[in-house]
């Protein structure tokens, strides 16, 4: 996170807030505005001191938009449940609990999306040559010579030209082709 940019933004927000407080633009929101301005002023002073001391803020967990969405849904769910617990009107409580079930369902769907995005993709390009050789051997034992040949061809394609292992693989492939022909007769 770029602390200098954050310091500039909070500094500008503090100046605008102080201007609004001095001019008393919204008199009905005077107390709320005062709390917000003091909070922004505190954040500005903290980031200003941090930038003078060359403090670098790094988060251990990389945040993505999906993580922030899950956090926001959890916060909304919490407030809806608190509102349902505090209200004395039974009809309003039932509506809030119904809304909390809907929000909980949305949270489950979103968490499922987070877990899917976190799981590594299973692409054949990520399979190593050793794994391809194991797959080839496994298919050979099962009598599935076509797939065994396919995996050996993939390994051979991954090798550089002039690699002595490609000759060995050619021999194994021709042996499997002979077995395949003998198997079909």
Tens digit of pLDDT at every position of the chain (185 positions): 566 677 778 888 888 888 878 888 777 878 888 888 888 888 888 888 877 777 666 656 666 777 778 888 888 988 888 888 888 888 998 998 899 999 999 989 888 877 777 666 656 567 888 888 999 999 999 988 899 999 999 888 888 888 888 888 899 999 988 888 875 54
Residues 105 and 139 in one domain: no
Q: Look at residue 69 in the predicted model and tell me its pLDDT.
A: 82
Number of domain units in the chain: 3
Position 170 in a domain: yes
Domain-located, residue 59 = no
Task: Indicate whether 180 belongs to any domain.
Answer: yes
pTM of the full structure? 0.38
Identify whether 25 is part of a domain. yes
Q: Which domain holds residue 33?
A: 3-52
Pair 71, 107 in one domain: yes
Residue 58 within a domain: no
In terms of domains, do 152 and 129 share one?
A: yes
Buried b (16+ CB within 10 A) or exposed e, 60-99: eeeeeeeeeebeebeeebeebbeebeeeeeeeeeeebeeb
One domain, residues 128 and 111 = no
């Amino acid at each position: 996170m770029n602390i200098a940019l954050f310091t500039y933004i909070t500094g500008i927000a503090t100046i605008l807030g102080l201007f609004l407080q001095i001019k008393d633009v919204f008199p009905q929101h005077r107390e709320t505005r005062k709390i917000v301005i003091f909070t922004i002023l505190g954040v500005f002073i903290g980031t200003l001191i941090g930038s003078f001391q060359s403090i670098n803020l790094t988060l251990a967990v990389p945040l993505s938009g999906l993580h922030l969405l899950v956090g926001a849904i959890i916060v909304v769910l919490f407030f809806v449940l608190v509102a349902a617990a505090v209200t004395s009107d039974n009809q309003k409580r039932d509506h809030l609990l119904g809304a909390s079930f809907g929000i909980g369902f949305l949270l489950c769907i979103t968490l499922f999306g987070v877990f899917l995005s976190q799981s590594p993709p299973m692409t054949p390009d990520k399979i190593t040559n050793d794994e391809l050789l194991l797959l080839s051997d496994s298919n050979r034992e099962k009598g599935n010579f076509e797939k065994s040949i396919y995996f050996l061809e993939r390994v051979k394609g991954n090798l550089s030209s002039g690699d002595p292992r490609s000759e060995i693989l050619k021999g194994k492939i021709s042996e499997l082709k002979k077995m395949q022909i003998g198997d079909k007769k």
